[in-house]
A and B are shown apart, each in its own frame.
Chain A
Amino acid sequence: MILTVSGMQVRFSGVAVFPPLSFTLAEGRTLVVLGPNGAGKTLLLRALLELLPHEGTVTWKPATRVGYVPQRVPLQRDLPVSVGDFFGFKRTAPPGFSAREALSQVGIDDPAFLRRQIGVLSSGQFQRVLIAWALSGNPDALLFDEPTAGIDIEGERTIHELLAGIRRQRPISLILVTHDLSTVYAEADHVLCLNRRASCYGPPQEILDPATLGRIFGRETKYVRHDHF
């Protein structure tokens, strides 16, 4: 296992955000974290990155490099930072890494793109830059927080194709946070569903039934499955 989590809980002002969570992530596999807005999914990711204090244990396999794509980084339009500058901020990139190669992995091949200011990029372009940025650290595991939030349907399709492409190229373990059920069926080997009172964990075909979804999303949930690919 590349990640083993046992009895993890995050508290704010003494109140537990979600029930104690225990789950694992195998190498090269994808875990989708599913839950409604406000369920604490982003907090879970931040705790996995040790950016938040938590109870329980989070154990990454030794020497695991973890990449992170946060949810909707609000762009300051007037920041004097080009895409090239942004890649220059990457401290965990391996020696000899190339921003152009990293961008190429997310389908951006124009060398002039490195000179563009990040403040003028569209949400979709910046999301791709963030993914390239995370990949440039040559990670063993990638944590994506709502990778398609704020992106139009075409951009969403591109991001999903990207994720599939990355998985075909290298055996990266993925944790995807979403409230979008279609992502679960398209991507997940395992799913961790949670809200503030309940959680479930297992292969999606085994645990995702209308009753469980109703418990997690707080209502009867109907879902018509369609694949992205």
Chain B
Amino acid sequence: MSATTISDPDLLRLLTAALVGGAAGFLGSLLISRKMALVGDALGHVALPGMGLALTLGIDPELGAFLSLSLGIFLVWRLGERTVLSLETLIGILFVSSLALGFLLVPEPELLESLVGDLSRLTPAGAAWAALLALGLSLLVRRIYKGMMLLNISPDLAAVEGVIPGRHNLLYLAAIAILVAIGIRITGSLLVGALVILPPASARLMCCDLHRYARLSAGLGVLGCLIGVGVSESTGFQAGPGIILTNSAIFALVVTFRALRRADQATLG
């Protein structure tokens, strides 16, 4: 197979990347509106110790990542309920501890792949599972989306409306953790956080009401992955950095376009 030919497994991987990118954009749209944009980034690193242990034991690293993330999310949620520390603080503590542990546990030959991912090693079965999970997570978060946004505005108003903060936060963090676990195969643990930050950041600059913002976040996530994978296929670069740089380029374009439009309006005014 040449780098410029797309076979069926490649197409499946492309579709999976697009679905994971879309789900990441959609889920991330809540993260950046809660001023927790770096949570996805931190969770990517929380997966490292689990991946390291899995590689050492010869089992699927994604399973290790998932277990590591589950434990991390449980700890963050539990400590968040029991202490006065904010979610960001707890995730920050977990992040640095996991990173240190990850560097010790991940065998050196696999370290680079763990950090930047390798889409080409995603099996068709793995791709199908990842796509289904991405869809499922998007549907789950869609159900709690308004409640989460109301929690952003006022936890008391949300509680009066029957939103249970602990349950909503746990569900949402679990969804992010699973997404990060499947996103790691595509972009690696180092870059997976960018999947949930960049598309919503661009979307936020492009529109203002909630429905368009959420849809645009998902749409830009899909677009970034499609273009990123396409560029990496045609150039031979790794998909992970390609996807993230594409999303960064989209963000830069949006910022530039806004600046030009403002300059135009100032000239006309």
**Is B146 positioned at the interface, with any CB of A under 8 Å from its CB?**
yes
Decide: A81 near B160, CB < 8 A? Known: A70-B154, A73-B154: no
What number of A-B contacts does a CB cutoff of 8 Å give? 68
A72 to B: closest C-beta gap in Å: 10
CB of A129, distance to nearest CB on chain B (Å):
11
Per-residue CB proximity of A205-218 to B under 8 Å, as 1/0?
Answer: 00000000000000
B160 in contact with A115 (CB, 8 Å): no
- Whether A78 lies near B204 (C-beta < 8 A) is yes
Establish whether residues B157 and A70, one from each chain, have CB atoms under 8 Å apart when the complex forms. Answer: yes
Q: Contact between A80 and B153 (Cβ–Cβ < 8 Å)?
A: no
Which of chain B's residues 96-153 have a Cβ closer than 8 Å to chain A? 146-147, 149-150, 152-153
Q: Is the CB of A79 within 8 A of B33?
A: yes
Query: Are A85 and B152 in contact, CB atoms less than 8 angstroms apart?
Result: no
Residue of A nearest to B147 (CB): A89
Report how far A78 CA is from B213 CA in the complex, Å.
12
A156 CB, nearest partner CB in chain B, Å? 21
**For the complex, what is the distance from the CA of A97 to the CA of B129, rounded to whole Å?**
42
* In the complex, per-residue mask of A100-137: 1 if CB is within 8 Å of any chain B CB, else 0: 00000000000000010110000000000000010000
Could you give, for residues 189-229 of chain A, a 1 whenever the CB lies within 8 Å of some chain B CB and a 0 otherwise? 00000000000000000000000000000000000000000
Please state if A90 and B161 are interface contacts (CB–CB under 8 Å).
yes
A118 and B153 in contact, given A80-B33, A80-B210, A82-B210 (Cβ under 8 angstroms): yes
With A51-B156, A81-B153, A115-B209 already in contact, the answer to whether A91 and B204 are too (CB < 8 A) is no
Which residue of A68, A76, A80 is within 8 Å of B156 (Cβ)?
Answer: A68
The chain A residue with its CB closest to the CB of B157 is A70
Q: How many residues of A contact B (CB 8 A)?
A: 26
CB distance from B258 to the nearest CB of A (A): 14
Q: Nearest Cβ in chain A — how far from B151, in angstroms?
A: 10
Is B204 a contact partner of A80 (Cβ separation < 8 A)?
Answer: yes
A78 to B150, CA, bound (A): 14
B161 contacts which chain A residues (CB < 8 A)?
A: 89-92
CA distance A76 to B33 in the complex (A): 9
The chain A residue sitting closest to B207, CB to CB, is A80
**Residue numbers in A under 8 Å from B33 (CB-CB):** 76, 78-80
- B162 contacts the other chain (Cβ, under 8 Å)? yes
Pair A88/B209 contact, Cβ less than 8 Å: no
Q: State whether the Cβ of A84 lies closer than 8 Å to any Cβ in chain B.
A: yes
Chain A residues within 8 Å of B, Cβ to Cβ: 46, 49, 51, 66, 68, 70, 73, 75-76, 78-82, 84-86, 88-92, 115, 117-118, 133
Interface residues of B (CB under 8 A from A): 33, 35, 146-147, 149-150, 152-154, 156-157, 159-163, 204, 207-211, 213
Besides the known contacts A81-B149, A133-B157, 16 further A-B residue pairs in the complex with CB atoms under 8 A apart: A49-B159, A49-B160, A70-B156, A73-B157, A76-B152, A78-B33, A79-B153, A80-B204, A80-B208, A82-B208, A82-B209, A89-B146, A89-B150, A89-B153, A90-B161, A117-B209
Task: Supply 16 A–B pairs (Cβ within 8 Å), ascending by A.
Answer: A66-B160, A70-B154, A75-B153, A76-B153, A79-B33, A79-B153, A80-B207, A81-B149, A81-B209, A81-B210, A85-B149, A85-B210, A89-B150, A90-B161, A92-B160, A118-B153
